[in-house]
Amino acid sequence: MWKHGPLAKETAARPVTLYHLAGACKLKRRFVLSPNGFADRVRQPQIDRGHAAMALFRFRTRNPERDREADESRQRRLHQFLDELRSEILRERDGLKERYEKITADAAFSQQALEDNRAATATSAKIDEMTESMIGYTKRIGLLEQQISFMNQMLGQAELFSPAKIGDESS
């Protein structure tokens, strides 16, 4: 006999049924308590047919309306993200263009003053620095233009995957 646990009051010859969870099904096993207090298996495990049948009826299908709402939400977030990136790039490009125009005007006036002998010799070094800055701005603006073009292409590609363009998946 068992001395502890829920089976302590059971007799040695009485069959005991234990349920073990295995995935979604419960397995039924039969044991007999031996005189030494250990449970001896009498039969091989069998699937409890009632629980297996219930598991079949618990299968749930996806809700097409919920799927459509999830797709639309992803689509909106994708467009919002791409628009934010594109706006960020546009702001950087516009800021660089303003600085480029300002430095170009400063360099032109400085060069004119140098040619008219109205400027000090330090102006020549300053003009060289402005020229290098203008070259850097030109390269960066070109790179940003490529990024803007890429973002426009991505927005166009994202539009192709909108639910209206793909069609209703239930048809």
Give pLDDT tens digits for 100-128: 999 999 998 888 888 888 777 778 888 88
Tens digit of pLDDT for each residue in 153-163?
999 998 887 66
Contact 18, 31 (CB under 8 A): yes
Instruction: Provide the whole-model pTM.
Output: 0.56
Per DSSP bridges, beta strands 15-22 and 25-33 are antiparallel
- Please, are residues 11 and 33 in contact by the beta-carbon 8 Å criterion? yes
Does 60 have pLDDT greater than 70? no
CA 47 to chain centre: 41
Domain boundaries, the chain: 15-57, 65-164
Band (pLDDT 50/70/90 cuts) for residue 71 is confident
Answer yes or no: are the C-beta atoms of 98 and 106 closer than 8 Å: no
Q: Under 8 Å CB-to-CB from 41, ≥6 apart: which residues?
A: 29, 30, 31
**Does position 21 have pLDDT exceeding 80, yes or no?**
no
Quote the percentage of the chain above a pLDDT of 90. Answer: 34
By residue count, the chain amounts to 171
Q: Reply yes or no on whether the pLDDT at 19 is more than 50.
A: no
pLDDT at residue 3 tops 70? no
From CA 107, how far away is CA 131, in angstroms rounded? 7
Q: Which two tokens stand for residue 36?
A: 């030494």
Helices 122-160 and 64-115: angle between axes, nearest 10 degrees: 160
Query: What pLDDT sits at residue 152?
Result: 95
Q: What does the pLDDT average to over 2-27?
A: 45
Tokens representing 42 are 């009498």
To the nearest whole number, what is the mean pLDDT of the chain? Answer: 75
pLDDT at 25: 42
- Comparison of pLDDT for 13 and 68, the residue scoring more: 68
